[in-house]
Each structure stands twice: as C-alpha cells, then as structure tokens.
Chain A
Amino acid sequence: MKHSTPLLALALALAATQAQAQTIYPLTKAEILSGSKFDFKVEFPGAPAASAVKVTINGKDPAQVLGGSVKFTEKEDGLGHSAYIIRDAMLKAPGQYVVEASMGDKKSSVKWEVFNPTQRKAKNVILFVGDGLSVAHRTAARILSKGISEGKYAGELAMDDMPAMALVSTSGTDSVVTDSANAMSAYATGHKTCVNALGVYCASNKNTLEHPKVETIAEIVKRKRQMAVGVITNTEIEDATPAGMVAHTRRRADFNDIVKMYFDTQPDVMMGGGSPNFLPNSTNGSKRTDNVDYLKKFQDAGYNLVTTSTELKSAQGNAKTTKLLGLFNTGNVDGVLDRKFLKKGTVDKFPDQPDLTDQVRASLDILSKNKNGFVLMVESGRVDKYAHSLDAERSIYDTIMLDNSIKIAKDFANKNKDTLIIVVGDHAHPVSIIGTYDDERPGTTPREKLGTYADAKFPNYPAPDADGYPNKVDVSRRLAFIFGSYPDYCTDAKPYMDGENVPAIAGATAGTFVANEKYCGKPGAVRITGNLPTDANSGVHAADDVVLTAMGPGSEKFRGRIDNTRVFRYMAEALGLGGK
C-alpha cells in the first residue's frame, strides 16, 4: 500500500507519454539514400480522424515532398491508432529534413538526412558476412590455419590483411542485442530495425508483410544501375542474412513469402540450402502452403538450376549461364568440418555439396559478365549456428572456410582494382579463447584439463592442409574456445566427433530446456547449470561490437567506430548510387 501511490503516478505518467507519442517512420536520425524507395508512415494513437492530424516535411505537404499519395486509415487493423501512409516514397534533394506530426497540441518530430553520392568509385561490391563472426573466431581461425609459435603467427588471414578497419555497433531499434535479420537489414538498407525484421520498420501492423518498407541494396542496384546481384550462403537461402538482400517482412520465419520475394527481385545468382520452400505442396517434402512450383518458375525465368557441386561447376563453365539458382540441401549446407573430414551431419544424404569457395568462384565468373558491375553478398552462416550450439570446432572451421572464400575474392579484385570488398560479422557471440584443454594434465574433468596462462602453452593441431585446415581436431592439447552464455548442458570439453553438439533438449515443462543427457555420461563430462533463462536451448548473441575489414575503392571510409547502417551508406557511396 505504501508503494502504490508513486507506482500509480509512474504508471499514469508512462501511459500519458505513450498516449502522446505519435510514431514517425523512418525513425529519427535515419540516413536515406537519395532516390531510394521507402514507406513513410505516421501512427497516431487514439485513432483520430484525418481532419484532426497534420503532417509536414520541412513545413510542406508530405505528398508533395515525397511523391505518391497519402492513405489515411482510422483504427488500422482494428487497433487503437490511425495510420498515415505514403508507400514507395522517395527523396531526391540531399540535406536535412524535419518531419512533424501533430494531433491537437501533441506534436512529435524526427530528423532525417538524405545523402546523394553521385561519384562512382567502385564497379563492384563484395560483402562478406561471417554470421556471428566475433574476434575470438578470427583469432582461432588464424591459430589453426596459419599456426603460431613463440607468440608469432606464420601467416595472415585474408580477412585480416586489409587496409581499412572499423568497429561496428550492431544494436537495433528495440534492443541492445540484435539478431541476424535486423543486423543484415541494416547492412542491406541503411536503416536499423528490430529483432526478427527484414527490410521494414517495426510498426503496429498485424500483417507481417505490411510494415513500412525500405529498399534493399539489391533492389536499388538492379532498379537504378541494372547491375547484377548475387546472394550466396551455406544456410538455407530463406534464412535471415541472405533474405535480408531482398525481403520485406516483420517476421524472418516467413520463408514461403521470402521465396516469392527472391523471385520478385531475381538476384542473378542465388545459392544455399532450403529447397523445401521452393516445392509445390503436392510434392512430398514440400514446406509450402500453396501449390506454386518455384523451381519451375525460376527455370522458366532463365535460371540454371543446380543441386550439386558437380552441376555447379558445369554451369559455371557454360558461357551462357547468366542466372543461376543453386540449392544444395533441404536444410543448411553441412559445415566444412563435416563435409571434408568427419562425414557427419547430412553428408550421407547430400554427398556432393559445394564448398563456399566453389560458390564464390562460380558467382564471380557469372556476375562479372554484367558490364554494369555487381553486388555480391557472401555469407558463412554456420559460424553463428555452431556458436549457438556451443560447437567450437565446427564454428572455427567455417571461419577458415570464410577466409578461403575471401582469398578468392581478393585475387579477383586485385586484377582490376575496381572492387570494394568488405568483411564483417553481423553481430557478436560471447566467445573467448582462455587457454587450452590438455589431455596430459591430471584429472578427468574440463576444469582439471584446462591450462591457463603459462600452463596453456600452444595447441598441438597438425600443420594445416593446403586449404588451411588441420586434418585432426581431437588433438591432445586443443583451444579452450569457451562460450559466455549457455543453457543447462553437459560437456567433456572435447570436440563433437559424432555430429553437431545439441546442448539442450526440450524439458518436461512446456517451453523449457534441459541438458541433453546424451553427453552427461561421457568420461569426465560435467553438468553445467545454464546462465540463460530456461526457455533458451542454445547460446545467445552478444551486443559487443564486431570488427570490419575492407579493401578497394571506397574502403577508406571505414574507420573508428561506426553504426552498422554505415556499411550500407559506404557501399552506396562507393557505387555512386545517388540521383537517378
């Protein structure tokens, strides 16, 4: 009772603030590329009539400034607000814009900056996204693939050996910690959004596809410059990072809609896993809810469809191939540790999956046929997925694969010096290298096997093969690559030789997860109490900044600390995407 008065006052104050604020999209501090499309929306709480509200941009009528026409909807989607929308808006003149939305005496305003880069410095852009790529991934990949003795490395990673470097902050509009959808959306559109969203601001709409959209770099370069676009990944092609190049949805899980969005944008080269969402629901194994055959639709639109590494190489060698759709797995393409060494995962079902390096080589051959240049997004996506499953070795091997792919792109760029290459994580994982697990140490449990400081010495992986991979991961002194967030799980601090780690499984109480007993009985295994809420089944992302390295024309812009939206801006500036 004692506390009720201040609490009530606080609640009323909060309610009053919420009731007052009309929300304007794009949100304040947006940096908008001149001539790019976006949806302008104002939501007025309390569902006022059109006559009760006023919206201006630099004091003028928005329809005049933005082009297009206003649609005003009272009680949009039956909710308690009115919506003022101009779809496909565009701003051409560079400079500062002040947007004001008022309802009686309640006023809110946002500021936008329109930038208009017209001088093109780069013909092509290649954006490498290591999903979840954190500093420890780079360090571990360097140790394993280059070797280290007396504290010095025997070589440089391709991703480290670049002239420009920046720290990139990844937080979204709703949370300090983001996901791959929101993070890729920032790289692809230059606008931050919220967790789970792609190419839209998160407004109140009930329909996930009707939130205010912002144009992606793939759409912009195709529409304005007739450039070629490539989207390649080793995850499902519908997954957040690749989808970010073409998708506009509040919900990244809208895989079937995302396939349609790929078809609408038609990137010239698309590769990954995730074929079931391309199959009509009359086909066994389809995950579509309609009977549309997207494999056929893409083929009818001139795409060469390939499903194995052998078919990919053959299509690459065919001078006529200008459009390619590669689908190599029903789910994610297996990581390199499974494909090349352990033969686990789905390698028995899909024995001829390409390596990311094969995908990059083929993409460069095909995309460089377009004289207007290209934008290629390459994702090594399982760096993140294996970090979620607390599977250090698989995550590190896919980082090495990313580096091998970057090497190929650098060789391509070095020929004509007209390609901007960017390498960046989309968000971090809480990962660190804290020493080595040494089987020679006494005892059986992970903490007894852990050597720290001088006791860590150096790991004893065999020398890497020609592709930079040690051919053995279960060595007697291996990196202690540890995870800062975890559910309940059991571990013996050894690599997962029988397949990807599954740390936790569904528990007896709905929505909770418990340690996977499969690992609890192994010699030396210990049971770890999770530090995450019980609804977490795996590790989570971190808000730490990620490292970006870059080379080529336009790369000099990357320095210091930048917001993730600046990756889009500097790509747009390098390509001179302003104006018409």
Chain B
Amino acid sequence: MLTRRLLIGLLLSTLPRFALAQSRAEERAQLSFDSLYKSFGIRGLEFSERVSGLKGRPIVIFGYMAPPLKPESNFFVLTKEPMAICPFCQSDADWPLDIVVVYLKKASPLVSAGQRVKVMGRLDVGSWTDPESGFVSQIRITDCDYAKV
C-alpha cells in the first residue's frame, strides 16, 4: 500500500510539469460517460480504447455531482445521471458502476447535488482504493477544476 501511495504521490508531483507542456501542444480531449468502457460485462469492465489512450492526459467531461459527504472537499463522485439515491447516506444503496471520481486541485466548496458540471483534469484509470476514504474507483480525474454548466 505504501509503495502504491508513494508511486501515486510521485506521479502526481511530476505530472503538472508535463501537463503544462502537453496542454500547450494539444487540445483537451472530451470524454463522455457513454465511451468509458468497451465491454461492461458480468466478468468485469474493460476500458474503451479511448480511455486507455487518454490515460495521464488532460481531459474534459460533463456529468452530475453526486451528493457530497461534506460541504467542502477535494473529492466528489461524478455520475452520468443525477443520483436518485445517496450511497454515502444509505446503507443499502449502491453506486452505479460507471462513476468517475474527481480529485480537485484543492479542497473547494461543492455545489449542490444534482448539479451538472464540467470537469477538467488529468485522467487516471485502473482499480484504486483511496487510502483516506477507502473508496474504490476505476476511473479518476486528478488535479481538477470544475464549473457549473
């Protein structure tokens, strides 16, 4: 776990320099919820080639902010549709499989749940457990800014 955290820490600390260089050189690619997975099956999920190809690159995606745990955070869950349930609040509610976890540049006040937002950041893919919250995610956007739309 320590090694993994260290690795991610290293990645995060080195990425911004490349990011600056890259963002000048390329357009920020737009991702949509419908194009995240190639197969979405009983035996697991397979990322789409687009997602695999954009790993580590700057992207933009539109979605809905799920009910946040606290009013200010550096972390929220982005969903395809507004959430009818609050998995953080209800013991028997569950997240949809195709969620995206958003890590902001710094802790910010979150907008109200159900708000459609535009999220810009760097794409990270692969199963990862947040060491602080224990939240397991498949697709993350790190170093993010977001805006209401």
Quick check: A284 and B81 within 8 Å, CB to CB?
no
B65-97 with Cβ < 8 A to chain A: 66-68, 71, 81-86, 89, 91-92, 94, 96-97
Quick check: B40 and A330 within 8 Å, CB to CB?
yes
Quick check: A502 and B84 within 8 Å, CB to CB?
yes
Q: Does A508 contact B (CB under 8 A)?
A: yes
Among A130-138, A274-282, A476-484, the stretch in contact with B:
A274-282
Closest chain B CB from A513 CB (angstroms): 8
Q: Contacting A510 at CB < 8 Å: which of B42, B45, B47, B67?
A: B67
B contact patch SS: loop
Quick check: A279 and B84 within 8 Å, CB to CB?
no
Q: Does B126 contact A (CB under 8 A)?
A: yes
Q: Complex formed: what's the CA distance from A65 to B45 in Å?
A: 53
What number of A residues sit within 8 Å (CB to CB) of B?
A: 40
Quick check: B81 and A511 within 8 Å, CB to CB?
no
Q: Does B113 contact A (CB under 8 A)?
A: yes
Q: Contacting A507 at CB < 8 Å: which of B68, B114, B129?
A: B114
B40-65 with Cβ < 8 A to chain A: 40-47
Q: Does A307 contact B (CB under 8 A)?
A: yes
Quick check: A283 and B43 within 8 Å, CB to CB?
yes
In the complex, what residues of B have CB within 8 A of residue A287's CB? 94, 136
Quick check: A538 and B41 within 8 Å, CB to CB?
no
Quick check: B43 and A504 within 8 Å, CB to CB?
no
In the complex, what residues of B have CB within 8 A of residue A502's CB? 81-82, 84
Number of A-B contacts (CB under 8 A): 94
Instruction: Using CB atoms, name the residue of chain B closest to A505.
Output: B82
Contacts A284-B45, A285-B45, A537-B85; A252 near B114 (Cβ below 8 A): no
Q: Contacting B127 at CB < 8 Å: which of A253, A284, A504, A538?
A: A284
Quick check: A285 and B67 within 8 Å, CB to CB?
no
Q: Complex formed: what's the CA distance from A329 to B67 in Å?
A: 26
Q: Contacting A504 at CB < 8 Å: which of B47, B84, B92, B126?
A: B84
Residue of A328, A330, A503 contacting most chain B CB atoms (<10 Å): A330
Closest chain B CB from A116 CB (angstroms): 37
Quick check: A284 and B44 within 8 Å, CB to CB?
yes
In the complex, what residues of A have CB within 8 A of residue B47's CB? 284
Q: Complex formed: what's the CA distance from A513 to B89 in Å?
A: 12
Instruction: Name 29 interchain pairs, CB-CB below 8 A, sorted by A.
Output: A255-B94, A279-B43, A279-B44, A281-B127, A281-B129, A283-B44, A284-B44, A284-B46, A284-B126, A284-B127, A285-B40, A285-B138, A286-B44, A289-B136, A330-B41, A330-B97, A331-B94, A331-B96, A349-B40, A502-B84, A505-B84, A505-B113, A506-B67, A506-B85, A506-B86, A507-B112, A507-B113, A510-B89, A511-B89
The residues of A with any CB-CB pair to B shorter than 8 Å are: 196, 251-253, 255, 275-276, 279, 281-287, 289, 295, 307, 327-331, 349, 389, 502-508, 510-511, 513-514, 516, 518, 537-538
Shortest beta-carbon contacts, A-B, top 9: A285-B45, A508-B112, A506-B113, A506-B67, A307-B42, A285-B44, A283-B44, A505-B82, A253-B92
- A sample of 4 more A-B contacts (CB under 8 A), given A286-B136, A502-B81, A510-B67, is A503-B84, A505-B113, A507-B113, A518-B82
